[in-house]
């Protein structure tokens, strides 16, 4: 019975993800830069470089 619960949970998560996927309007950018033209980032998006600079206090050349 526990194995069925795990399968049911995994299937429910996949179904929920598929049902919650929405369509973007023309010209609207995705939160994931890989899906945007020229891999453009959203304004204010934190990158690994920002993290290293701000949190780890590393100098970026």
Domain membership of residue 25 as a residue range: 1-60
The per-residue pLDDT for range 50-60, each reduced to its tens digit, is 888 888 876 66
Mean pLDDT estimate for the chain: 83
In angstroms, rounded to a whole number, what is the distance separating the alpha carbons of residues 42 and 54?
19
In angstroms, rounded to a whole number, what is the distance separating the alpha carbons of residues 48 and 32?
14
Is the confidence at residue 1, as pLDDT, over 80? no
């Amino acid at each position: 019975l526990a194995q069925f619960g795990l399968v049911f949970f995994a299937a429910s998560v996949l179904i929920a993800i598929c049902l919650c996927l929405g369509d973007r309007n023309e010209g609207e950018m995705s939160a994931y830069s890989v899906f945007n033209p020229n891999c453009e980032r959203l304004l204010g998006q934190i990158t690994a470089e920002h993290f290293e600079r701000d949190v780890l206090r590393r100098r970026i050349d």
